[in-house]
Amino acid sequence: MRALLVGYGKMGRAIEAVLVARGHAITGKFGGRDICLEGKEGKGDLWGSSSDAAARAADVAFEFTAPDAAPSIVPLLLSKKIPVVSGTTGWDVAPAERLAREQRVPFLHSPNYSLGVAALRLGVAAVARSLAPFPAFEPGIVERHHAKKKDAPSGTAKALAAEIEGASGRAGIPIASLRHGGVPGEHLIFFEGDDETVELVHRARSRAIFAQGAVRAAEWMLKSGRTGPVTFEEFFNDASRGGIAP
């Protein structure tokens, strides 16, 4: 697999390490100051002569930039027929999904590429469904991330809230967000009863877990031959059933 890294911050470097460890090639890598969209002035030009060659040589692009950049960058990549794995949260993904469907280009966006969080979502839905007949159990979410994370609540917290709402029929699940220190990510989901509490928690100790999940999902996406929007849950479910190699 030949990969283009668009966004070369901490996550971009973590993905690079996983790609190299799994025997993949990197055609190019662009940090925030290197990216200039067509028609805009800037230090670099993602679609200049040498950069364009690096992009077109890629089998897939990993996009981990910022909420104000992704709405322009992802459609540009898709318009060039480059499959995209995107992890940027805090932006409207729907237009990119429509473009991917129209162009028949694989596009996978997820707020979280942790295998543990994928399992957590299934567990949260199961608990919410089981406790739905007992309204005394009130659900809530507390999430913590590093001080530099720009969006709050996190995309993962919103996804977990949606799982609870879909499984229980409740609306407006409360989410409390903290932004401090260097916490890669922590999500606590609780169902508070009158005299007891059910808690499910996921704590990320390293960004490496997200990089591993993103790279493995990209491998699956390309191997599966799917086109248009796909989900991390589809990858996880296929892997859980033994449909792909570890």
CA gap 20, 189 in Å, rounded: 35
Q: Which of 145, 158, 187, 202 is catalytic?
A: 145
Residue length of the chain:
246
Q: Active site includes 223? A: no
Spell 88-105 as b/e; 16+ CB within 10 A means b.
Answer: bbbbebeebbebbeebeb
Which of the following is catalytic: 10, 80, 146, 149? Answer: 149
Q: Which two tokens stand for residue 138?
A: 């009130």
Q: Is 145 a catalytic residue?
A: yes
**DSSP label of 10:** H
Report the distance separating Cα 154 and Cα 218, nearest Å.
22
Q: How many CB atoms lie within 10 A of CB 136?
A: 11
Sheet holding 197-204, edge to edge: 175-179, 138-145, 185-192, 197-204
Q: Which residues are catalytic?
A: 145, 149
